[in-house]
Structure 1
Amino acid sequence: MNKLKSVRIVLTASLLSLTICSTTVSAATYKVVKNDTLFNISKLFKTSVTSIKKTNNLKSDNINPGQKLKISAKIYTVKAGDTLSKIAKANKITLGALRKANSKWTDSLKAGQKLIIPGVKPGTTVSQKVEAASTMRAASTMKAASDGVIPYTKEEKDLLARLITAEATGQPYNAMVAIGGVVVNRVQSKEWPDTINDVIYDVPGGYYQFTPVKNGYINKPASSIAIKAAGEALRGADPSKGAMFYFDDSSTNKWLWSKTKTAQYGKMVFVK
């Protein structure tokens, strides 16, 4: 091991130690927002719908905006100099997940402020979480960088193919690949979550990013051509030309139409 690697390891260990010391272990209270579902909340906090229902004595899956749910998660106390990005990185979660868990859509923070750290269970240190994540990745069907431009599991490829099926059945093949490209572009961007699963199920501010997630069509089986398109996108094909959004050309959303158009295939318009 060379000296540079030794220094990096010491610095990493020091950062982990500081993070552990400044994190208060506790159960959290999550406030339901518009368009929330128990399923999406369970995905955010890496738990199950059954567990949430049991903890909160819920008799059905119905929840309402403003309702408060007890969730097993850590509470972090903000320190001077903290930023949301630093907190998310130190706790190995996405910035999007941190924002969603706290309904925090601005970057302003105050020392002493409490933040929910989603997906980190009470009693779990950061080092334990990193080790657990590494074990899960090793046991999964994660693809190597030589196979894809981003890491992904077999399940995530299927999820991407199901999104393409729901959004672009009947549209040109390039439109299908381009939709996959948009998801890949978001995973690669610092502005969005860093996994396919988190990008597709992202609901910032209570707004679904992909209609099939909201209407349930995401759960329908993927077509063979969509699976092929998903594979091409994961290998780096991007007919969207760097787009971050797409929509049907019948849309009346002025905000989407105001963005820079990069491509159009059939009825699908791609913008960034």
Structure 2
Amino acid sequence: MKKFKSLKTLLSALTLCAILSTPAFAGDYTVVSGDSLYKIGKVFNTSANDILATNNLKGASIYPGQVLKVPCDTYTIKSGDSLYLIAKKYGITLYDLRKANNKWDNNIYPGQVLNLPKINSNTGSTEPTTKPIVNYTEADLDLLARLVTAEAQNQPYSAQVGVAAVVLNRIKSSQFPNTISSVIYEKSYGYYQFTPVANGWINKPSNATAKKAAKEALYGSDPSKGALFYFDDSTTNKWLWSKPITARIGNMVFVK
């Protein structure tokens, strides 16, 4: 009887070890065009081989619309939530949250379930990324929000985030200055880069929505998809229209 109990205990321990050593795949990820197992693995802090094995895939080929099990916790949206607040609460970038859910607009609803990338309470794996993509002061945030207000206050919210993102994209580019204020106040061939600086609208107070949009861009959101310029679709500037379009939101056109 003692031997039986010992064997039973051993088997239970082995079973528990097997459970604990197996990655927990709790999220559903829908494949989009351009995805690969490697890219998806980077989003969820796992390997392509783990996704391959867990989903019983015969090869690395995947297709848009395919649903894969991925390792992450999930979050059920509650009334009053926003993508920005959820990302901030869990210490992940807004960009990572959007990427993990292929969610590039801000429309969410109570009861909707989101993947939380790089967070897995079952395996203890976390990768907090709460730092902004560009260091900034309150004065920088206010200046960026004033630019957003002047340029896009009558445009959709995602367009406002896009305007702020263009400034940050310029900072990351070797073609432009490397601070928020120097990008916004830059002159090229004797002309200011941004119309509100030239006409003085940059000095008008920002609104709350613009400040929120500016902060969202600072923490990784980029509806402009890497754009370095933006303009109203009524412009006749051939040079701007000749550039590759990355996004169109409302009346705003974003280009590289």
TM-score between the two structures when normalised by the length of structure 1: 0.46
TM-score between the two structures when normalised by the length of structure 2: 0.49
